[in-house]
Amino acid sequence: MARLIFFEKPGCAGNARQRALLEAAGHTLNRRNLLEQTWTEQSLLPFLGALPVALWFNRAAPRVKSGEIEPDHLDSGVALALLLADPLLIRRPLMQREDGACLVGFDPVEVERFVGLGAAATGNADLESCARTAPGDCAPR
């Protein structure tokens, strides 16, 4: 099984569900606070890879949900500057294997390819959306 660095937002119910699935599949997680990490272009870009810019963003972030930031209309330079200035905007989780390979988000198909979920996989369940529904529940803590 894999050993992963797992960048999360502490207290995030979605990240807790994701961690539980990975651990049930036998993976070992080195948990880190995504919001306290000092991100640079060089440290963040390996996670974002060749994804479209809009997929770099946490759609549950208050600034995205309010329409202040529209990820679908940003170029990569502006988007990266926003993510570096406000890590709450970064799509979660960020995962890194021991070999340095990186993944952003928790699409079960991609996670299966990345490290394997096996019997822990949940089919078509949405494992990225914020599980909380009250306004402000996904705000920084």
Return d(Cα 123, Cα 138) in angstroms, integer. 25
Q: What is the pLDDT of residue 138?
A: 47
Domains in the chain, CATH or no CATH each: 1-34+92-121 (3.40.30.10), 39-90 (no CATH)
Return d(Cα 35, Cα 141) in angstroms, integer. 10
Phi, then psi, of 90 in degrees rounded to 5: -75, 130
Catalytic (active site) residue 102: no
Q: What is the pLDDT of residue 136?
A: 43
**31-81 residue pLDDT tens:** 999 999 999 999 999 999 889 999 999 999 999 999 999 999 999 999 999
Active-site option among 12, 102, 130, 138: 12
Chain center to CA of 36: 14
pTM listed for this prediction: 0.86
Q: What is the pLDDT of residue 140?
A: 42
